Structure 1
Amino acid sequence: MKKSIPPAVASACIWALLVAPVMAATPAHDVQAGRYRIEPGHTQITFSLLHLGFTPYSGMFSGISGTLQLDPAHLSASRLDVSVPVSSLYTPSDRLTGELQGADWFDAGRYPNATFTSTSVVPAGAENATITGNLTLHGVTRPVMLHAHYVGAGVNPMDKAYTVGFAATATIRRSDFGIRTYVPMVGDDVTLTIAGAFEKQD
């Protein structure tokens, strides 16, 4: 008996065939230099911390904006500026989301944005870099180190924009930024996992 392929699976296969040759094969050193802008629809920051010593618990920020001045030939000359709306914070619990945006935690009304401005970019092999910069969160500015990995680049077949993508991780202590509620019952160390898509502007 001949089995039909579900439409969703067929669409995913077609999408992979279209995108993979365009986006995945570009070596990091062949990425186009220039000024890039964050594409917010495919850029997100996930945070994770230990909850009561039982399980890690995660949430997400979206609606992120910013720019990247990228020079693959002289990566140390690159510069990254990012702004994150705290009100975009999301967790699986509506109640918890509201609490985290409130005064005892991120206090989104008083501190509506978190920002990151790079101060140095140090290559670590062909596709990795350490990005050091100043993170301002909850009204406090501290140095933070991002471990970034190049994912791919090419023309996005959907909107025809030349796009470059990176993944990055970092670990911060929330108490360093004045967010101390329930420490140590709720973990102080916060892992950040970042997916960044950037569209070329010139």
Structure 2
Amino acid sequence: MTVLPKLPRALKIAIPFALAAAAAPMLAQMPETPGKADKSRVVAGTYAADAAHSLVGWKVNHLGFNDYFGLFGDVSGTLDIDPANPSAAKVSVKIPVSKIITANAGLTAHLLKPAADGKPADFFGAAPADATFVSTSVVPAADGMSATVNGDLTLNGVTKPVAIAATFSGAGASMMTKAPTLGFHGMATIKRSDFNVKYGVPFVSDDVKLDITIAFEKK
């Protein structure tokens, strides 16, 4: 068996520093993401939602055992914002309910199952109308990075007020178009029975938690 020589203590201490020094030039060359959570980067103007990268996740509880998740994609819309006056910001988005997805094909089909025998559909029915959210007020928080966005959510033919807890997550120039781009994350909870989606309550929870991630690109 080969016995390795014991390294002097000074060398043991020096080796990590030498490795760190060798890695420093490589780390300095690592590319940075174009978006940063830096509000000084926000450019005033009118923005359009990046539908390919804007999503609304939803979560319900199933039978009291566990939570189940689904997703709406292709979210479109506009944002008008001036960093000097954030409370005047306005947002309007459209959510294509017909493109709802889950991890189970049968469940997805049930969510879009047509009504039968003159009865209402269990969930959204075939070819449901797009949902919309139109802000009515924006209340910035003291941290300068978050706000409550109040607005009207229209879903399944019903309009109700909804408050979204929104957080600014990034600003910068798009890698593809070089246009100023903004990103936000939002959370909200709605009762689906308020929108006449009552099937399975309370076995499938009435409360639906929404997890929103959306990017806007300046027009």
Report the TM-score when normalising by structure 2. Answer: 0.80
Partner of 2:109: 98
Distance 1:17 1:46, change over 3 A: farther
Does residue 167 of the first structure (1) align with residue 179 of the second (2)? no
Residue among 126, 130, 133 paired with 1:116 = 133
Change over 3 Å in CA distance of 1:194–1:99 after alignment to 2: same
Contact 1:107 1:138 in 2 (8 A): no
1:23 corresponds to which residue? 35
Deviation at 1:29, TM superposition (A): 4.2
The alpha carbon displacement at 1:160 in A equals 2.0
Residues 1:72 and 2:83 aligned together: yes
Q: Secondary structure of the equivalent of 2:85? A: helix
Q: Is the 8 A contact 2:41 2:172 kept in 1?
A: no
Q: 5+ unaligned residues in a row in structure 1: which ranges?
A: 1-13
- 2:148 maps to a residue whose letter is T
* Alignment match, 1:146: 164
CA contact (8 A) 1:29 1:73 kept: no
Cα distance in 1 for partners of 2:43, 2:212 equals 22
With structure 1 as the length reference, what TM-score do the two structures score? 0.87
State the aligned residue count: 185
Unaligned runs of 5+ in 2: 1-26, 114-120
Does structure 2 retain, via aligned residues, the 8 Å contact 1:169–1:191?
Answer: yes
Q: 1:132 aligns with which of 143, 146, 150?
A: 150
Q: Is the 8 A contact 1:114 1:137 kept in 2?
A: yes
Task: Tell me the SS of whatever aligns to 1:23.
Answer: coil
Specify the code of the residue in structure 2 equivalent to 1:175: S
Sequence identity (%): 45
Q: Which residue of 1 aligns with 2:69?
A: 58
8 Å contact from structure 1 (residues 38, 199) kept in 2? yes
* Superposed CA RMSD: 1.8
**Which of 212, 215, 219 in structure 2 is aligned with 1:194?**
212
Which one has the largest radius of gyration? 2
